[in-house]
Chains A and B, each alone.
Chain A
Amino acid sequence: MTNRTTVLVVLAAASVGMTACRRQPVAPAPAPAPVASNTNAQARADSIAAAQRRADSLAAARAAEARDAAARAQAAQGELSSILAARVYFDYDRDALRDDAMATLDQKAAVLQANPAVTLTITGHTDERGSDEYNLALGQRRAAQVKRYLVSKGIDGARLNTQSMGESQPAVQGSDEGAFQQNRRAEFEARNAGTLVRPGA
């Protein structure tokens, strides 16, 4: 009986050593227990300590796993948010969607399909050339063109608000074509986008 208990303790200790978190040193196998009156008490204490170590290491593993999952989820949310926020760009005095704009909007449409509570405000902007007032109209036309495209991809128009800032809020300062191109854009602001579901998930 005594020997069997000792063997079990040893086995338990060994199994703790094998399954314990890698960061913890493997507990040295206890020396053959002398047959003495305090052997049982010692074995119990060892057992309790080993179980505690095992519980701690499991909790740490679970926490690390949760941290990794949270980071993965956050990265996924960030990626989905970026897709929703990605700007689309236009040619001078045009509201037609270029190929790169349509590719960006296709990704947005997929995220919007997967997240039916999300609404988008689409804001059209222009470069500084042209009349201030006409540019407000042009910015609105760009926002409307983006909305039309998303609606054509199956998004409910009621989820898409359009507005224009004309030339009043340039993305970058400057009076060269590089700056102009950056400023001829539509921007997107998502609402109810706290927890986004990945398309196809």
Chain B
Amino acid sequence: MHFARSPIVARLAIAAFVLLVPSALRAQDTTMRGVRIGLTYDPSGKPGVVVLPVAGVGGDSIAAIVARDLDFGDRINVITLDAASASAAARASIPNWALLAKLGAAAAVQVTPAPGRLHVAIYNVSTRQTARIHDYAVPPMAQARDWRAAVHAMSDDIEMALTGVRGIARTRVLFERGRRLWLVDSDGEQLTALSTLDGPSSSAWSPDGQRIVYNTYVPSQIVVQPLGGRPRAVASGSGVYISPVFTPDGSSVVFAHGVDEGVDLYSVPADGGTPRRLSVGRGSDNVSPSFSPDGRRIAFMSGRAGHPEIYTMDSDGTNADLLTPLDVGESAYRASPDWSPDGRQVAFQSRIAGTFQVLTVSLRDRGLKQLTSDGSNEDPSWAPDGRHLVFVSSRGGTRQLWVLDAESGRTRQLTRGAPVRLPAWSPRLAGE
């Protein structure tokens, strides 16, 4: 937050606070010491921002990536320039304040490429002042994957400066397709197959985004693997070893295992050891664990009541409790819980009118909110902003990954091609 010490930024922040006390108070939990520019300009509550044309080699790509990242964050109304406006803006040596004001922009972002770095200026249109200047180191553009990662990280920092909340552009989604694990950037680019043990499934991220954990069916085992590193089986044997996740401190892996007497949740050190049983399912199936962010509770699905429902329990397996309101009836089926990063709700899938839909249940009042209705929608996974979800949907014909903004309801398709399963959204990732 070093930029907040800048006098201009501090002055702007104070001005924004004074002008927007109610909004600022409402947003207190997520508002950092960034610059909340122009919240009053847009009736939707999202500040209008123009990403100015970028000169030089790759300039168009940079402007397009940043504009799309800010748009996908769903906190900013990215204003698209028409050709005439773009050329007018590009001609100006200083910001064309009149044009920006006419477009309804509260702020403008100007990126200027320099050797080995990108120079970023953020303009406050209402005060006609430069709100922030910052340089970002970037690898050569030829290293497409790393270069794009650096530009995404820059976008997230720009979003932080504009809204007070860091973006999620520099994240990836891990998923299963055709008996392999794949990674795709948050914007749907850089689709990459991972080299893993044969037949990986049900993958999850370590909290630092450096390792993944998955299971294979044959042989039946839980595997921890650093990205780009060697796989290591941490639990294996007869029966099933499935649905592993890391604990929030990254030290252990919790997974489901069973042979002949139901399937229960177990914990094992992330570098291997003797598994310790957590859940007491008495012959029922207990799978799909998901930790609360503080690591104290685990949400999971269990068939102990005769049909699959979502439960929570303490991380040592005690105090198991039904989370979803008990829905008696043959068709009740709740599955695939994922605890939100802010700890306030759990996303899951529930069968409604014969197909699955994604819902959330509030930890505070157990209130349910249905988020999807188009096609069959399964396996939700939260983005680190606690606002976006990735899930598998059949709405486009085949099962693909879609991203949903749980606040606005806006959706976009993330993958195309062969059907996919079981997505896991990464934490915010460091630069490559």
Query: Which A residues are closer than 8 A to B by beta carbons?
Result: 93, 130-134, 136-141, 144, 147-148, 161-166, 168
Chain A residue nearest to B308 (CB atoms) is A134
Find chain A residues with CB under 8 A from B421 CB.
Answer: 132
Chain A residue nearest to B219 (CB atoms) is A163
Contact B217 A144 (CB under 8 A): no
Find chain A residues with CB under 8 A from B426 CB.
Answer: none
Return the contact of A165 from the options B217, B349, B378, B379 (Cβ within 8 A): B217
Contact A134 B260 (CB under 8 A): no
Contact B379 A163 (CB under 8 A): no
B220 at the interface (CB under 8 A from A): yes
Q: How far is the CA of A134 from the CA of B300 in the complex (A)?
A: 10
Chain B residue nearest to A160 (CB atoms) is B260
Contact A137 B258 (CB under 8 A): yes
Find chain A residues with CB under 8 A from B256 CB.
Answer: 133, 137
Query: Which B residues are closer than 8 A to A by beta carbons?
Result: 201-202, 217-218, 220, 238-240, 242-243, 256, 258-263, 285-288, 301, 303, 307-308, 333, 335-336, 349, 378-379, 421-422
Q: How far is the CA of A198 from the CA of B287 in the complex (A)?
A: 42
Contact A131 B379 (CB under 8 A): yes
Find chain B residues with CB under 8 A from A161 CB.
Answer: 238
Q: How far is the CA of A197 from the CA of B202 in the complex (A)?
A: 43
Contact B258 A140 (CB under 8 A): yes
Contact A131 B240 (CB under 8 A): no
Minimum CB–CB distance from B17 to chain A (whole Å) comes to 46
Q: A163-B220, A168-B217 are in contact. Are A133 and B288 (CB under 8 A)?
A: yes
Contact B285 A134 (CB under 8 A): yes
Return the contact of B285 from the options A132, A138, A162, A168 (Cβ within 8 A): A138
Contact A133 B217 (CB under 8 A): no
Find chain A residues with CB under 8 A from B333 CB.
Answer: 93, 130
Return the contact of A133 from the options B218, B239, B259, B336 (Cβ within 8 A): B336
Return the contact of A136 from the options B238, B240, B262 (Cβ within 8 A): B240
Find chain A residues with CB under 8 A from B220 CB.
Answer: 163
Contact B287 A136 (CB under 8 A): yes
Find chain B residues with CB under 8 A from A133 CB.
Answer: 202, 242-243, 256, 287-288, 301, 335-336, 422
Return the contact of B263 from the options A93, A131, A140 (Cβ within 8 A): A140
Return the contact of A131 from the options B238, B260, B261, B288 (Cβ within 8 A): B288
Contact A168 B201 (CB under 8 A): yes
Contact B259 A134 (CB under 8 A): no
Q: How far is the CA of A141 from the CA of B302 in the complex (A)?
A: 13
Find chain A residues with CB under 8 A from B301 CB.
Answer: 131, 133-134
Contact B260 A137 (CB under 8 A): no
Contact A162 B308 (CB under 8 A): no
Return the contact of B239 from the options A130, A134, A162 (Cβ within 8 A): A162
